[in-house]
Amino acid sequence: MRNPGGHNARWWRKHPEAVRPGIKERQDHVPLEAVRKTLPRKLWDFAESPILWGGLGVLIGAVTSLISLKYLFVMSAMVVCVAVLKANFAASHRLTLQVGGNLALCCVVVLVFSIIWKYVPKPVVPPTLDQQGDVLVDRFSRKFPWLVSPPRPSPGPGKPAEHAHITYDPPTEAETPLLPYRVGQTPSLTIGFRNTGDFQVLNPGMAGTVQVEDNPQGPANAKQIDGIFLRARKQKNLQHFHNIGAVLDPYLSGRGHDAYPFRADAPLTEDDVLALGNGHKILCAMAVTDWQDSSGEYETDFGRCYLCVSPFVPCSWRLLPQDGLETKLH
């Protein structure tokens, strides 16, 4: 086709099929990279960039490792499984083989990560300052016990020995409510005592029991009342508690209290429940506490009985004659 050769725009509009010399050759050799990409296409390419996902993986791994190394292993195994599913190594086979093969490969990945987790060194969490301080104090107290709880000097000539005292608290329910009495119930009480002196109580220990006794009536039965505690002391099945090495400071310091639970030897029968309710029998808690101070070794008796005479009258504790009696042993 004839080309007038000039810049006649009207002629070019009438002959659109004509190509200017040299332009067709240049169009055939335009590289693909020179094609202008749209913004959505650029964003999609950026989202698929391995460099981006590598950087995000490093960031997520660093944050997760601060929380738990186990979570980091789980996330890594999930990412590898997703990569296996995307690669679809069994694409040339049937659908069932593709699904089974991909699942088998994911199981292998999980097994490999489990083995690595088993043998990888676990991070050691450093102890806090409070924990480090507790360890140092414990080591110091074990190495120098006399500095933590120094012994009191022995009294000099003409100076009386430092003597402490213990006082019992009212018994309290140890496990289940005591009242109302029930058939099959095994009464249990907690017997507590405190250092009411001005000096330390050392190595306290207690032996005691809880048992049902007949209620002696009238002044003629004073010997029977004394016999309740004496019989309890002679029993061989007393419950024993020892706190070797314990030190009870004076009660005003807030650390001079100790207590132990005691249970009856047998559950209550129907006759016991009836007699305890009408005052014919009483529930007695008895104990002996042995302890030491700088002046020697002592024991203090405890004996109190719970008396109920009627459902309309509140029950009350009655003290045995031996309650609070202190005896020096050595």
Domain positions in the chain:
164-328
Mean pLDDT of all residues belonging to the chain: 75
pLDDT for the residue 270: 92
CA dist., res. 299 & res. 128, Å (int): 44
Longest CA–CA span in the chain (Å) reads 153
Contacts of 309 (CB under 8 A, 6+ apart): 278, 279
Instruction: Give the integer Cα–Cα distance in Å for 268 and 69.
Output: 58
Tens digits of per-residue pLDDT, 19-31?
555 555 555 555 5
pLDDT of residue 123: 60
The contacts of residue 228 (CB under 8 Å, 6+ apart) are 213, 284, 286, 303, 305, 320
Residue 167 has pLDDT above 60, yes or no: yes
Q: Which residue has the higher pLDDT, 285 or 174?
A: 285
Residue that is written with structure tokens 């990569």 in the block: 83
Nearest residue to 267 via CA among 211, 209, 325, 197:
211
Lookup: tokens for 160: 């009386």
β-sheet bridge partners, residue 304: 285, 319
Q: pLDDT at residue 315 above 80?
A: yes
| CA-wise closest residue to 295 among 160, 113, 203, 185 | 160
**What are the residues facing 326 on neighbouring strands?**
300
Selected residue with higher pLDDT from 76 and 139? 76
| Whole-Å CA distances, 141 to 32, 107, 134 | 80, 54, 10
Q: Helix, strand, coil: what percent of the chain each, to 5?
A: 40, 20, 40
Whether 298 has a pLDDT exceeding 90, the answer reads: yes
- Of residues 18 and 180, which shows the higher confidence score? 180
Distance CA 306, CA 188 (A): 12
State mean pLDDT over 48-54.
71
**Token duo for residue 171:** 């018994």
What CATH number labels 164-328?
2.60.40
pLDDT digits (tens, 9 = 90+) for 248-269: 888 655 556 788 888 888 899 9
Confidence of residue 34 (pLDDT cuts 50, 70, 90): very low
- pLDDT of the residue at 149: 53
Rounded-to-integer distance, Cα 171 and Cα 257, Å: 14
Can you tell me the mean pLDDT for 38-64? 71
Residue 220 confidence (pLDDT) above 50: no
Angle at alpha carbon of residue 77, lines to 71 and 83, rounded to 5°? 140
Q: Which two tokens stand for residue 7?
A: 């810049």
Poorest-pLDDT segment among 68-72, 73-77, 126-130, 319-323: 126-130
What is the pLDDT confidence band of residue 219, given thresholds at 50, 70 and 90? very low
pLDDT digits (tens, 9 = 90+) for 75-95: 778 877 887 777 777 777 788
Spatial separation of the C-alpha atoms in residues 208 and 302, rounded to whole Å: 9
Token pair 């990409």 is at which residue? 37
Q: How far apart are CA 166 and CA 292, in angstroms?
A: 11
Give the least confident one: 137-141, 228-232, 240-244: 137-141
User: β-strand 257-263 against 188-195: which pairing, if any?
Assistant: antiparallel
Q: Which of 148-152, 319-323, 326-330 has the lowest mean pLDDT?
A: 148-152
Q: What percent of the chain has pLDDT over 90?
A: 5
Beta bridge partners of 208: 239, 287
More confident residue, 64 or 104: 104
pLDDT at 106: 85
CA–CA dist 280, 307 (Å, integer)? 9
Average pLDDT (238-251) is 75
CA 31 centroid distance within chain: 69
pLDDT of residue 8: 61
